[in-house]
Structures are given as C-alpha cells and as structure tokens.
Chains A and B, each alone.
Chain A
Amino acid sequence: MKSAAGSVGMNRFRKKRTWRNTWEGMIPKLLLLCALISILTTLGIVFTLIVETASFFQDVPFVQFITGTEWTALFHGSQQQFGVLPLITGTLLVTMGAAMVAIPIGLASAIYLSEYAPDGLRRVLKPILEILAGIPTVVYGFFAFTFVTPLLRNFLPEMGVFNALSASIVVGIMIIPMIASLSEDAMSSVPRGIREAAYAMGSTKLEVSLKVVVPAALSGIIASFVLGLSRAIGETMIVTLAAGATPKMTFDPTESIQTMTAYMVQAAMGDISFGSTVYKSIYAVGMTLFVFTLVMNLLAQYISRRFKEEY
C-alpha cells in the first residue's frame, strides 16, 4: 500500500478516470440544463401566446380588438364583442389607484427606515417589511373583500360590493413593501459623506432626506415605483375577488370593473370550449398584459441604468 501511494513519482499527478472526475465533468452540463429549463419555458410560453393570439386575430380583427370599447366575450351570438379597452382601463384604474396608495407610503417608509430609524429598529422593521411581501395575494384579496370594502361602504353607502376602489387600495398595500424595501436599498447606498456635507451646512434631517438623499437615489427609487406598478398590473387574486367582473370603460373607482387578469381567470374557470374564439381571447388578453409588464420592466431597467448616480 505504502509503495503504491508514495513511490509512483511520474504518475502521481496524472488524471485518473475516477467517479469524482467524471462527476465534476458532468456538473457544468447539469447546471446549464437547469438554466435552460427556465429559459425554454419562457420561450415556450411566449411561443404559445403568440400562436394563440395570432389565431385569435383571424377571428377578430386586430384594430377592432385594440380600439373596441365593449368587452362581452362571454356573451353569445351577435352580442359578443371583443374590444379590449374596458379591460385595459380597468387594469389602469386599479394600477393608478394602487400607485396613489403605494408610492407616497412606500417612499415615506423608505425615508423613515433609511434616514430616521435608529439602527436597532431598522434591523427589526426591514425584515418584517420583506415578510409582508411574501403574504399570498389571495389573503390580500379576502382582506379587500371582507374588511376594506365594508369599511369603505360606511362612508360611501351607495358603492357596490365589488368596486375598483377597495381593490386599488389593497393592491397598493400589497406593493408598499416592495417599493419601500427597494427604495430603502437605493437610499442607503447614498454615501455617508454626502449626508455629512449637507448636515455640516446646517440642513435639517428632512432637508437632507428630501433635497439630498432622495435626489441622489432617484434612479433606484423610480425603478422601484415602476417594478411595483408592474406587479400591480399583473396582480390577479385581489382584483378577481374585490373589483368585480364587469368590463366597463370608466374611471370612477366606486364602480365594479374588470381587469385583464380577472377576465383571464373568469374565462379560464368558465364553461368555454377549447379552440373557440373566447378560448383564444384569453391568450390575446394575456399577450396584451405581457406587453404591458414587459414594457414596464424594460422601463425600470432603462431608468436605473440611464440615471445611475456616480458618486
């Protein structure tokens, strides 16, 4: 044994065909395979979307789809209309409402965490905020339907059980942690020296926060808004549960509306036949939604690159 291990000399470092070496050689291939799974799945999804959407546009003209103001896909016969605008305005109404809730509160939370909170408190609050981001959206949906809506109806008695307002508020609450957390990251990475310079000139804490730190972190902050809103656009459960199923061209938040996502759920759950125009309309709406969120995500990337601060 001793001589085999110690005396070979020349052959001591020669590569041997061991299981260990074979395994090591396989590793990059396995890892690549895993990476490919998600890429191929994405490509597959986009491919399916495109194929079914193209097929949908053979039944319904493209122009009619994007300019039509009536969406009655689940009706029958001549009453059936595929004008996507009501679904888009429904989505935008909820998204705008969510933005009005989430942007001020999210930014204020970020300013508090980054500039005001004592170290100990920040170390407790930040993880809690990130846990909030992990609550299943169906829970938020029930919260909207069973708590926020009844509460709002105390003040707006004529408002229906399903309304865009309640959904907007709760979607807004849902994306606050995301906006707060990402904005806080951006603000915390503003160098300490810049804050000190501002304090040394006699700035108050609020002036340092609003006139120095927020502008310096603006690219990251705006990117957090865009990412938050892109989640709001794609949000499904809250709007399905709380906003109703009434495709309507309106900007009145007290009315029942339907978003693109909520329509897709409703249609997919309903009694529709495979290959029918209604079936394919799910893909067409999905494609529209995909274009929206893709544009938002690209916008967020562009903003954070284009306006990145060099300190």
Chain B
Amino acid sequence: MAEQAVLTQPAIQVENLDLFYGEKQALYGVSMDVQENTVTALIGPSGCGKSTYLRTLNRMNELIPGVGIQGSIRLYGQDIYDKNIDVEMLRKQVGMVFQAPNPFPKSIYDNIAYGPRIHGIKNKKTLDEIVEKSLRQAALWDEVKDRLKDRATGLSGGQQQRLCIARALAVEPEIVLMDEPTSALDPISTAKIEELLQELKGRYTIVIVTHNMQQAARVSDKTAFFLNGELIEYDDTESLFSNPGNKKTEDYITGRFG
C-alpha cells in the first residue's frame, strides 16, 4: 500500500461540494481526493448521497432537471464544471457502469463499437480490435467470441454486466465509475466482476458505490463512508474497517444501522 501511494497522484479532487435537488440539499461540503489508478469504495446506507456524489464526477446528475451544485470538482487539475468544458469529452474520459445491466438492444459487437463509433472511429479493422480488446479486458471474450452478432440482450445478467464494463472501457476512459455494479447479480457473477476489478486496478482509476461492505473491503484501496449527504470518514480500506475513526462509521460497519 505504501509504495502505491508514492507512485500515484490525485486524479480526482473534490472540494466543499454541495448538491441540491431543487430546494432539497443532498450533499453537504464533501471534500475528497482520489488517487490515480486506485479503487475507491463509497459505502453508506440508502439515500446517503453516495450515488449522487458518484454522478457529479461525470456530470450525469445534469440529466435530472433542477440539480444545482456548489464547490469544485477537478479531474487531473481541471475544473469539470467550468463553462468551457465539453461534457461529451469529459464523459468519454470518465466511464460509467450502472446498477442494472443496460446493454443496448443491438448485437454484442455493436454494443462495444457504439462508443468508438460516436467518437469518430470508422475503420472496420480498428473497431474489430477495440471490440476484442475490450471484451478481453472484461473477461468476456472467450464466452462470446463466436456470437458477436447475437443480440446482447440474450446474454445472462452477469455477462450483460461484463459487456457493459467492456462497453465503458471501449472508449478508453481514465476513470471508471461503478454504481453498485453487482447489486442485481447472483453471487457467482458478482465474484467474476470482483475478480475483474482486481485486474483493472492499476490501469484505471475506479470509484465504486456498493451496498456490500464485504465487497468494499475485498476490492478497494480506500473507502469513503457517507451518511445523510456528508462524508463521515475517508481512509485506507484496511484501517477504516479495522479501526474506524468515527463512532458513526463504527456503528455502520458493525451493522448497528443501515
């Protein structure tokens, strides 16, 4: 852990972030840095603001009308809420995987090629390579290589979720946000996704929201505990779980509420 900290630099810097849904405040003064090429888990009870926080990092919250934010979010030093930011380019660099698998009703191949295509890649050979590389990275290639033209909606739930990860990786993001990516999956598919996270760690900066504390402990380098819109504690995963610094964190991870 110590040597990793030396190698990395902050990829995400959030300072004093407040977020409002209309009149209702959902995040209160969240400040949190995320190191490059690490896995950071966000835990906390439902409605604590962890998914909301995640969605500020690629400005997906803007799809909901009436959302307002204050404070600053910098990715690699750049303020992503600056008015000169091209939100499409931002989202290309900050990929996202959602709670429920959401493949497009297209073929497996077209699902993966969608992102590269909208970002201007037309060459068939290049697309073939990207599709293969992305599916390999998501540990799905061997299962689907003979049926790339089949519809993605025919895959199992776990395969669909790995396809969605492959699809997110196909546009070569630097940061990957995952919003409870295994909550709709069975234990075996969950284990596969966690295994995959271990492989992706070190190449991508991953921020993962999870309801499952064992999962946070297994996959992440650092863990952030959210409660009622506030960041209560943020520390190395090991020390947060073994030696929580805040009473509320301790109550939550020992199962006293939530």
Q: Complex formed: what's the CA distance from A216 to B106 in Å?
A: 8
Choose from B90, B105, B114, B171 the contact partner of A310 (Cβ within 8 Å): B105
How many positions in chain B have a CB within 8 Å of any CB in the partner chain?
A: 27
A118 contacts B by Cβ under 8 Å: yes
Q: Is A30 an interface residue (CB 8 A)?
A: no
A215 to B152, CA, bound (A): 14
Residues in A164-203 with C-beta less than 8 Å from chain B: 191, 193-194, 196-203
The reply to whether A202 and B92 form a contact with Cβ atoms under 8 Å apart is yes
Segment at the interface with A among B57-65, B67-75, B211-219? B57-65
Task: Specify which chain B residues have a CB less than 8 angstroms from the CB of A119 in the assembled complex.
Answer: 65
Q: Is the CB of A203 within 8 A of B65?
A: no
Asked whether A309 is an interface residue with its Cβ less than 8 Å from the other chain, the reply is yes
Contact A197/B167 with A119-B65, A203-B88, A309-B105 known, Cβ cut-off 8 Å: yes
Nearest chain A residue, comparing its CB with the CB of B96: A200
Q: Nearest-CB distance from A18 to chain B (Å)? A: 54
Q: Which residues of B contact A311 (CB under 8 A)?
A: 105, 153
Q: What is the chain B residue whose CB lies nearest that of A193?
A: B102
Q: A212 near B167 (CB under 8 angstroms)?
A: no
State A203–B167 Cα separation when bound (angstroms). Answer: 13
**B98 in the interface (beta carbon within 8 A):** yes
Q: Are A202 and B167 in contact (CB under 8 A)?
A: no
The listed residue (B89, B102, B105) touching A202 by CB distance below 8 A is B89
Cα separation A310 to B171 with both chains bound (whole Å):
26
Knowing A194-B104, A197-B102, A215-B106, the reply to whether A310 touches B65 (Cβ < 8 A) is no
Contact status B118-A200, CB under 8 Å: no
- 15 residue pairs A–B, Cβ–Cβ below 8 Å: A193-B102, A194-B102, A196-B60, A198-B104, A199-B60, A200-B168, A201-B118, A201-B167, A201-B171, A202-B89, A202-B90, A202-B115, A202-B171, A216-B105, A311-B153
User: 19 extra interchain contacts, Cβ-Cβ under 8 A, other than A196-B60, A201-B115?
Assistant: A194-B102, A196-B96, A196-B102, A197-B102, A197-B167, A200-B58, A200-B60, A200-B168, A201-B92, A201-B167, A202-B92, A202-B115, A202-B118, A202-B119, A202-B171, A204-B118, A211-B114, A216-B104, A311-B153
Residues of B within 8 A of A (CB): 58, 60, 63, 65, 88-92, 95-96, 98, 100, 102-106, 114-115, 118-119, 153, 164, 167-168, 171
